[in-house]
Amino acid sequence: QVQVVESGGGLVQPGGSLRLSCTVSKNLFDDYTVAWLRQAPGKEREFLAAISRNGDTTNYGDSVKGRFTISRDNARKTVYLQMNSLKVEDTAVYYCNAGGSYSSGTWYQSAYWGQGTQVFVFS
């Protein structure tokens, strides 16, 4: 009933930029809060950014504040993550989660995840 499709990952040099896209299909109640999270090898999954249904409220994890920007285009049913000033430590698999909620620094996940897209930052 709800499908999440990601794209935009790839290879980039330190200091470079990349934009990830997340398209969400829903058969009814076509509104959703969306978050981006990432997971590096051997690490816990880390919250990065969340955006409200109408796009007027955003929240960011400390590690990406000032570098990453989340936005959405509801007509296209797409949420974006613009990543600037990328660092080697940003290398991870990036995931999109639709329909969860953000509260007091914690992302409460839904069951609807994208497949994950690999971002590799190399020197």
pLDDT for residue 75: 85
What's the rounded mean pLDDT across residues 16-40? Answer: 88
Residues of the chain with pLDDT > 90: what percent?
83
Mean pLDDT of 26-30: 61
What is the per-residue pLDDT across 80-117, written as a single tens digit (0 to 9) for each?
999 999 999 999 999 999 999 999 889 999 999 999 99
Q: Are 86 and 94 in contact (CB under 8 A)?
A: no
Q: What is the predicted pLDDT for the residue at 30?
A: 59
